Amino acid sequence: MTTGTLVLAAAPIGRVEDASVRLREALLDAPVIAAEDTRRLRRLAGELGVELTARIVSYNDVNERTRAAGLVEELLAGRDVLVITDAGMPGVSDPGYRLVRAAVAEGVPVSVVPGPSAVTAALAVSGLPTDRFCFEGFAPRKAGERARRFGVLADEPRTMVFFESPRRLAATLAAMADAFGAGRPAAVCRELTKTYEEIRRGTLGELAAWADGGVLGEITLVVGGAPEPAGLSDPADLAAAVAVREEAGTPRKQAIADVARENGAPKRVVYDAVVKARK
Residues 70-94 have a mean pLDDT of 94
What local confidence, expressed as pLDDT, does residue 229 receive?
A: 63
Q: What is the span of the domain harbouring residue 53?
A: 6-116
What local confidence, expressed as pLDDT, does residue 278 receive?
A: 85
Residues 128-141 have a mean pLDDT of 96
Q: Are residues 134 and 197 in the same domain?
A: yes
Which residues have C-beta within 8 Å of that of residue 18, sequence separation ≥ 6?
Answer: 12, 115, 116, 193
Percent of the chain with pLDDT over 90: 78
Residue 214 placed within a domain: yes
Q: Which CATH number goes with the domain that contains 90?
A: 3.40.1010.10
Least confident stretch, 52-61, 120-129, 262-271: 262-271
CA–CA separation, 130 vs 218, rounded Å?
Answer: 22
Q: Are residues 50 and 134 in the same domain?
A: no
What local confidence, expressed as pLDDT, does residue 262 receive?
A: 79
Q: Are residues 109 and 137 in the same domain?
A: no
What local confidence, expressed as pLDDT, does residue 246 receive?
A: 87
3-class secondary structure, 135: strand
Q: Which of 64, 92, 116 is the last residue of a domain?
A: 116
Residues 40-56 have a mean pLDDT of 95
Percent of the chain with pLDDT over 70: 99
Q: Are residues 138 and 213 in the same domain?
A: yes
Q: Which of 97, 116, 135 is the last residue of a domain?
A: 116
Q: Which CATH number goes with the domain that contains 155?
A: 3.30.950.10
- Inform me whether the pLDDT recorded for 22 exceeds 70: yes
Number of domains into which the chain is organized = 3
CA 191 to the chain's CA centroid: 15
Residue 105 placed within a domain: yes
